[in-house]
Structure 1
Amino acid sequence: MGRKQLWMVIAALIMLNCLTAAFFLSKVNEANGALVNDEAVATIGKKTISRQDWLNELETRYGKDVLKEMVDQKVIEEMAAKYDIEIADEDVEREYRMLQTTYNTFSPKKQANEKKWKEQIRSTLLLEELLTRDVEISNKELKSYYEKNKDLFDVPDAYHLSHIIVKTKAEAVKASKELAHGSSFSALAMEKSIDEFSANEGGDIGFITEEDERYPKLYLQTAKKLKKGKYSKPIKVEQGYALIKLEGKISGETYSFSEVKNQLRRQIALDQMKKPASAATFWDEAKVDWFYGKNKE
């Protein structure tokens, strides 16, 4: 279960990176003349890097991966339509919620947008369903797996937090006053927080739960007393003093056997497969012909 979720997070991030590369590659179509292609995108002393050089490098590094991602997506859509396979919205929502609460670095501010993540989750579930559509798992085996792994389907309360960390209480009090006078929490975090990792994200530290060991227990204790959008008084932490802001909360939930039955069937079936889950399995059936010939990788 955990391995599957981790794969989904990685897949979503890869998709977003590929989409970014695809965006830049698409600029080739806009470059309809030598003048545009020769436009300098950087200068180093008397030397320049042209837009065309940049695009050529992007295509060399990412072109194949971007195209494969696009082909795989179309293949999954075609095969799902052929075999009349659909994924229920509640299945997508459940996976999305579990990703948010299980991987506490998963932050709404860091993702491109919720829609893109859910599209990738749906695509992943469609592929899993396609690969395992002919596999039958007995109800007894499914229930046994569920009982042995029941805790994996308990989604805990999760709090989406941002913080500002400064060295002294005086600095924390000053920051608190600035917030009270209308300053942006995110802007203050970028300007004042000594936690460089989160400061670059406007103080955003994603979702944390009771099991989170990255942050003091006081963070969660403080968050539970806050209303959404509100921030705390200065609290003492190892690095100095912190101000905590509650960005949002996801209430915990326990999923029943009936709710995750299909998920269990896919997971058991995938664990039994000797080959990794890949849309390339259906390329021949979908009659794929692409720029890189017969090579599917």
Structure 2
Amino acid sequence: MNGKTLWGIIFGLVVLNCLTLAYFLSGKQSSQITSVSNHTEGEVVAEIGETTISRQDWLAELEKRFGKTTLENMINIKVVEELASKYGIEVPEETIERELKMFKATYNAFGEEGFEQDDQLKDQIRYSILLEELLTKDVEVPEEEMKQFYEENKGFYEIRKSYLLSHIVVNSEGDAKQIIEELKGGSSFEALAAEKSIDNLTASNGGELGYVEVESSFVPPQYLEEAEKLSVGEWSNVIQVDDEFVVVYVEDILEGVTFTYDEVKNQIRRQIALDQMEGNISAHKLWEEIGVSWFYGE
């Protein structure tokens, strides 16, 4: 396994492990939890024939299934934040932006919906970097080793220009032209794709194809030829691909960039140091230092 793949997997696992927590801590979910606490325990939340499910039973089941993991993740965030403050560890915004771009380029199949919102993903990236910095703060990595790692994995730090594309595929040119008219009238591309696209693999996801690199063979070359003429938020004219007709939409553009050694040396240091660690990358390793006691008592 090469360095690019290894780093992509490790970074992806750390970030994606935060997605569940992000849902539970989102503003919407927090308001729902507050709302729940304001209702009586005996309130019925579902009726199935003559059987009912009470709010108390429902919450008990939620706690049984998700309570420990959710509480552990909440503790982890607090532990990381407090220890980062203690040691004066901060994450510059440009570091977050760089790793966000690298993450998108590496996980190009997910697209914007897979990442939720950029702001949310930035928070998750910041948490991951702080955690890694804390876990590796006492590890020294020779400069020569870091430079060698960079040279051997240079391709990972070179991001080619990519387009976040969606498409709607139909059987006739007339149908494609009608879709363009509806888009001009204010219709949602995502909704039209779900309703009218004959590509069953993408229709249910609003036609989204993910991030596609320039000259990629993942999509027909006509897609990228049209994408190069478009700005973010614009759709193409009708494209004919074999016997089908397509409208392509550009949701986002990642400009190509090559990150220098100096820009990514801290990231490399963490990666090499993490490779030397035993066990999982977890904030649980930091609990003893700060002193944590919790409901589950472990």
TM over 0.5: yes
Q: Does the Cα contact within 8 Å between 2:215 and 2:224 map onto a contact in 1?
A: no
Q: Structure 1 residue 32: deviation in Å?
A: 4.2
Structure 2 letter corresponding to 1:99: F
**Distance in 1 of aligned mates of 2:127 and 2:294:** 21
Residue 136 of structure 1, aligned match among 133, 137, 140: 140
1:51 matched to 2:33: no
Q: Secondary structure at the match of 1:246?
A: strand
Corresponding letter in the other structure for 1:31: S
CA distance in 1, matches of 2:197, 2:170: 6
Q: Distance between the aligned counterparts of 1:163 and 1:137, measured in 2?
A: 46
Between 55-64 and 281-290, the greater mean CA deviation after superposition:
55-64
- Rate the CA distance shift 1:69–1:213 in 2: closer, same or farther, 3 A: farther
User: Does structure 2 conserve the Cα–Cα contact (< 8 Å) formed by 1:165 and 1:239?
Assistant: no
**Distance in 1 separating the partners of 2:177 and 2:46:** 43
- Relative to structure 1, is the Cα distance of residues 206 and 254 closer, same or farther in structure 2, using a 3 angstrom cutoff? same
Q: 1:280 to 1:168 in 2, by over 3 A?
A: same
Matched, 1:284 2:275: no
Change (3 A) 1:193 1:48: farther
Aligned length: 292
* Residue 27 of structure 1, aligned match among 16, 26, 33: 33
Structure 2: how far apart are the matches of 1:5 and 1:169? 41
RMSD (Å), alpha carbons = 2.4
Quick check: 2:176–2:238 contact (8 Å CA) kept in 1?
Answer: yes
Q: Which deviates the most, 18-27 or 146-155?
A: 18-27
What stretches of structure 1 of length at least 5 have no aligned partner?
Answer: none
Equivalent position amino acid for 1:2 in 2: T
Task: Give the Cα separation in 2 of the matches to 1:131 and 1:159.
Answer: 35
Partners in 2 of 1:38 and 1:28 — Cα distance?
17
Q: CA deviation at 1:102?
A: 1.8
Q: 2:57, 2:7 → 1: CA distance?
A: 39
Mapped to 1, the partners of 2:193 and 2:249 lie a distance apart of 11
Which of 67, 73, 90 does residue 69 from structure 1 map onto? 73
TM-score with structure 2 length normalisation? 0.88
Which residue of 4, 7, 13 corresponds with 1:4?
A: 7
Structure 2, unpaired ranges of 5+: none
Instruction: Show the counterpart of 1:206.
Output: 210
* Structure 1 residue 266 corresponds to structure 2 residue 270: yes
1:1-297 residue pairs with structure 2 within 5 A? 1-21=4-24, 23=29, 27=33, 30-32=36-38, 34=40, 37-210=41-214, 212-237=216-241, 240-294=244-298
Distance in 2 (alpha carbons) for counterparts of 1:32 and 1:14: 30
Alignment CA distance shift 1:10-1:214 (3 Å): farther
Structure 2: distance between partners of 1:186 and 1:26 = 27
One-letter identity of the residue aligned with 1:64: K
Q: 1:29, CA displacement in angstroms?
A: 7.1
**CA distances 1:218-237 after superposition (whole Å, capped 9, x unpaired):** 32222112222221122233
Mapped contact 1:107–1:207 kept (Cα < 8 A):
yes
Tell me how far apart the structure 2 counterparts of residues 88 and 265 of structure 1 sit (CA, whole Å). Answer: 16
Q: Report the secondary structure of 1:284's partner residue.
A: helix
CA deviations 1:215-271 (Å, max 9, x no partner) are 223322221122222211222336832210112211110000111111111111111
- Secondary structure in structure 1 of the residue aligned to 2:194: helix
Maintained 8 Å contact 1:219/1:244:
yes
Distance change >3 Å, CA 54–CA 248, structure 1 → 2: same
Tell me the SS of whatever aligns to 2:288.
coil
